[in-house]
């Protein structure tokens, strides 16, 4: 890309990100349209170093199914998912029994309702790690004093309360997803994915380069499908885009048998150039 084209790219609006994150690139860069076109690997601080034993072991395994089983066993062991009392879980909190909340329940909760408690936790994790702010949860989040925003804050506070390092579990889920994408598809930098929407106006339109071509500011976490037909069931319009591998938190084949019947990709947001059908 020449310098003149780079200068014409719409910038990520300041209201879409914060200046501090826990990632190898600042939010203004990883959330930009230029990143979509020319992505780079994203590393969450400390994950590779702290869990080096996991990734070193995975490197010795050729069978993806064996790697998945080892990852699940590592998660159970590392976060004491089968022995929550040893992790400090207090079971006498009558109001919030959150002992069974873990990364798998967050994924299932998102698939059921992206604007539920689990969705709020996932969106807050994206903000913490990548610096991208949510744009929608139970409705637009444009006003910090709005009912929607207060409900979002309450949702992720409740979702994290009395749980066992949920955000650290998501850090490792993202790290494993990125490892598997690179291991299984080493020559794939982008994925052509589809999303069904009822109204284009539900997204911030940053530019319209051509007819039926838009630059959208997506929510900080989104569901996509690999199939346009599947995406059509979620809205009157379908747009497709090229999603960098570095922005995929979850893909359907990552944990086979765990989320039966779901074919969703969880995609980290920012600015994307999309084509509308």
Count up the domains in the chain and report the number: 2
**Bridge partners of 276?**
239
Dihedral, 94, 111, 122, 193 alpha carbons, nearest 10: 180
- Confidence band for 43, pLDDT divided at 50, 70 and 90: very high
Domain end point (choices 127, 158, 184): 184
- Residue 89 lies in domain: 47-184
| Better pLDDT: 257 or 26 | 26
> Is residue 136 included in any domain, yes or no?
yes
pLDDT at 82 over 90: no
> Residue 92 has what pLDDT?
54
Decide if 25 is inside a domain: no
* Predicted TM-score of the model (pTM): 0.92
**Residue 31 falls inside a structural domain:** no
Do 100 and 125 share a structural domain? Answer: yes
Q: Tell me whether residue 88 is exposed, middle or buried, using C-beta atoms within 10 angstroms of its C-beta: 0 to 12, 13 to 18, 19 or more.
A: exposed
Strand ranges in 125-164 using DSSP code E only, listed in sequence order: none
Q: Quick one: 106 and 233 in the same domain?
A: no
134, 204: one domain: no
Same domain, 149 and 228: no
Same domain, 180 and 86: yes
Domain-terminating residue out of 151, 184, 217? 184
Say if residue 126 is in the same domain as residue 90. yes
Q: Who wins on pLDDT, 10 or 22?
A: 22
Same domain, 144 and 230: no
Q: Is 24 within a domain? A: no
Residues 132 and 208 in one domain: no
Taking 50 as the threshold, does the pLDDT of residue 84 lie above it?
yes
pLDDT at 87: 47
**pLDDT for position 11:** 86
Q: Is residue 13 part of a domain?
A: no
Distant-in-sequence, close-in-space partners of 248: CB < 8 Å, separation ≥ 6: 177, 178, 181, 191, 265, 266, 267, 268
Are 62 and 167 members of one domain? yes
Domain co-membership, 51 together with 76:
yes
Two tokens, residue 262 = 């779901």
Considering the domain architecture, whether residues 111 and 176 belong to the same structural domain is answered as yes
Domain-located, residue 248: yes
Q: 198 and 151 share a domain?
A: no
Mean pLDDT of the chain, nearest integer: 90
Domain edge (last residue) among 156, 184, 212? 184
In a domain, 227, yes or no: yes
Residue 105 lies in a domain: yes
Cα dihedral value 68, 112, 244, 168, nearest 10: -60
């Amino acid at each position: 890309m020449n310098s003149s084209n780079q200068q014409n790219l719409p910038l990520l609006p300041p209201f879409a990100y914060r200046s501090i994150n826990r990632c190898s690139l600042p939010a203004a860069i990883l959330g930009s349209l230029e990143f979509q076109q020319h992505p780079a690997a994203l590393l969450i601080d400390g994950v590779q170093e702290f869990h080096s034993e996991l990734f070193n072991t995975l490197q010795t395994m050729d069978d993806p199914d064996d790697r998945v089983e080892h990852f699940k066993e590592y998660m159970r062991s590392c976060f004491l998912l089968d022995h929550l009392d040893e992790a400090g879980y207090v079971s006498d909190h009558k109001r919030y029994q959150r002992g069974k909340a873990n990364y798998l329940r967050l994924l299932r909760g998102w698939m059921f309702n992206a604007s539920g408690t689990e969705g709020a936790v996932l969106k807050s994790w994206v903000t913490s790690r990548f610096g991208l702010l949510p744009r929608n949860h139970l409705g637009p989040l444009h006003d910090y004093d709005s009912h929607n925003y207060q409900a979002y804050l309450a949702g992720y506070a409740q979702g994290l309360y009395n749980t066992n390092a949920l955000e650290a579990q998501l850090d490792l889920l993202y790290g494993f997803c990125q490892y598997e994408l690179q291991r299984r598809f080493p020559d794939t930098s982008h994925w052509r994915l589809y999303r069904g929407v009822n109204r284009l106006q539900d997204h911030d339109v940053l530019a319209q380069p051509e007819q039926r071509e838009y630059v959208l500011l997506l929510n900080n976490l989104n569901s996509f499908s690999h199939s346009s037909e599947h995406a059509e069931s979620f809205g009157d319009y379908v747009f497709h885009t090229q999603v960098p591998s570095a922005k995929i938190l979850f893909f359907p084949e990552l944990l086979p048998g765990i989320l039966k019947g779901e074919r969703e990709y969880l995609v980290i947001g920012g600015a994307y150039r999309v084509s509308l059908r």
